[in-house]
Amino acid sequence: MRCGFSILSLIVGLTAGSLRAQVVIEGTVQLPKPSFDRGLNQRYATAPDIALAPTNPPAAVVYLEGDFRAQAASAQKSQAQVAQKNVAFAPDLLPILVGTAVEFPNMDETYHNVFSYSKIKRFDLGRYRKDEKPSVVVFDKPGAVTIHCEIHERMRGTILVLETPYFQKTDTAGRYRLEHLPPGNYVLKAWVAGDDVRQRPVELKTGMTLHVDFPAK
């Protein structure tokens, strides 16, 4: 009898899980125009002999905002990475869950000096070489952290620290697809750049696929 009840519980649980897996939001974020690919012309210095990565096309981060602090706290946080490669950040936009550690390896044959003066995370990694152990920074407060290189002005990046485990970076066409979402009433947000954050209230029901586009402001 006890065995039969356990099997029934398992079936109900699996069914609920598969239904939850079917809650999907997809759509497109209208992205800004690509920025000009800045060279390395420095006023008083000779440019280093390094191939430059082209400026990355714009992208956005779409995330579901709600009270997910419990899920965020219990979620497994893998270490993320922002490399400095060909005098650019790779990736130059990184969404992470709050509490995630990010390492900053230098893949170039020249120095970089990654720093941020953003209020939610201020740090300066100093100058370090390619073969040195990369510095690791833990991002423990939510918000957008702008990162720069003190030596190369063309390098700019953003680490978007989120309190929700439900987020995705769009592709270069602005398309996104969030899956395995919990039913309920939330706000769906698209972080595009700086204070360009677009939002829509959403009501998610089990089994639905919602289409939400974010046109330009």
Cβ-contact 212, 188 below 8 angstroms: yes
**Residues 89-118 vs other proteins: string with x where CB under 8 A?**
--------------------xxx---xxx-
End-to-end CA distance of the chain: 60
**Residues 160-199 vs other proteins: string with x where CB under 8 A?**
----------------------------------xx----
Minimum CB distance to other proteins smaller for 89 or for 176: 89
4-25 b/e (C-beta count within 10 Å ≥ 16 → b): eeeeeeeeeeeeeeeebeebbb
Is position 143 an interface residue for other proteins (rule: CB under 8 A)? Answer: no
Q: Residue 77's CB: how many other CB atoms inside 10 A?
A: 15
Find the binder of other proteins among 148, 169, 175, 200 (CB under 8 A): 148
d(CA 121, CA 101): 12
Minimum CB distance to other proteins smaller for 86 or for 206: 86
- Residues at the contact surface with other proteins, assessed by CB under 8 A: 36-39, 41, 43-49, 109-111, 115-117, 122-124, 126-129, 146, 148, 194-195
